[in-house]
Amino acid sequence: MQKEENAVVLDVLPHGYAFDNTPSYKKTAIVQALGKSHLTLLEAVPKKEVNLQIHDEVYIGDGKRDQIHHVNGKLDPNKLTGTAKAELEYVIKAIVEKDQAKFVEFFNKAQPLTTRMHVLELLPGLGKKHMWEIVEERKVEPFKSFEDIKKRVKLIPDPLKIVVKRIISELQGMEKYSLFVGR
């Protein structure tokens, strides 16, 4: 598993999990977060004096951390709180928009998976017809942005939404292949 350097807070549980039977004086606050570079769901413990908010960006790398005491590890998607689930799509969308070049590059470089299946077909809403159009268009000139993909590929669903949907289903463990989420 690749290490994350930064994460975005999805939810803060100041008194830990409600279902945790640990005596209250031993409980620690819990932060549910999404790593920015490998899109890993993480569980962390904030430092005692720190007051974190949803959407805060926190450093979780190996260096000196100002807000996070330690990272417990990967977070099971079934343990996400209602708030974290609700924020997940917004946070992913913001990360994808900010790092658009990386995801557009995926459209430019994706290769066949097998002789019958192309990696592009693993994206929700993309079938053979869209896949062939993307492959032909990128031969002419590589795509520069999601807007460029929308302009040049007829009737393609919104590329940003497609990528966000795929990332969410990968995080929920519903996909055999991981295209965007570091495992």
What would the pLDDT profile of 44-83 be if each residue is shown by its tens digit?
Answer: 999 988 999 999 999 999 889 999 999 999 999 999 999 9
Mode of pairing for the β-strands spanning 68-74 and 57-59: unpaired
Query: What's the rounded Cα separation, in Å, for the pair 61 and 78?
Result: 25
Based on the fold, state whether residues 67 and 111 are members of the same structural domain.
no
Based on the fold, state whether residues 73 and 106 are members of the same structural domain.
no
Based on the fold, state whether residues 121 and 163 are members of the same structural domain.
yes
Residues of the chain above pLDDT 70, percent? 99
Based on the fold, state whether residues 72 and 18 are members of the same structural domain.
yes
Residue 92 has pLDDT above 90, yes or no: yes
Mean pLDDT over each residue of the chain, to the nearest integer: 92
End-to-end alpha carbon distance in the chain = 6
179 CB-near residues (< 8 Å, 6+ apart):
106, 119, 122, 123, 166, 170
Range of the domain at 29: 6-79
Query: Is the pTM for the entire model greater than 0.85?
Result: yes
Based on the fold, state whether residues 118 and 157 are members of the same structural domain.
yes
Query: What's the rounded Cα separation, in Å, for the pair 125 and 66?
Result: 42
CATH code for the domain in which residue 60 is found: 2.40.50.140
Per-residue pLDDT tens for 134-176? 999 999 999 999 999 999 998 898 999 999 999 999 999 888 9
Number of separate domains in the chain: 2
Beta-carbon-side half-sphere exposure of residue 85 (alpha carbons within 13 Å)? 9
Based on the fold, state whether residues 127 and 157 are members of the same structural domain.
yes
Q: What is the pLDDT of residue 109?
A: 96
Based on the fold, state whether residues 11 and 71 are members of the same structural domain.
yes
Helix or strand holding residue 62 (H, E) = none
Based on the fold, state whether residues 58 and 109 are members of the same structural domain.
no
Helix or strand holding residue 8 (H, E) = strand 6-13
Based on the fold, state whether residues 75 and 103 are members of the same structural domain.
no
Task: Go through 134-147 and write b for each residue having 16 or more CB atoms within 10 A of its CB, e for each that does not.
Answer: beebbeeeebeebe
- CA 177 to centroid of chain Cα atoms: 15
CATH code for the domain in which residue 161 is found: 1.10.150.280
pLDDT range class, residue 20, cuts 50, 70, 90: confident
Domain boundary among 79, 113, 137: 79
Residue 67: C-alpha distances to residues 12, 57, 82 (Å):
12, 10, 23
| For range 8-31, the mean pLDDT | 85
Domain boundary among 79, 113, 144: 79
In a domain, 178, yes or no: no
pLDDT range class, residue 1, cuts 50, 70, 90: low
Based on the fold, state whether residues 104 and 156 are members of the same structural domain.
yes
Domain boundary among 79, 113, 131: 79
158 CB-near residues (< 8 Å, 6+ apart):
146, 150
Based on the fold, state whether residues 68 and 114 are members of the same structural domain.
no
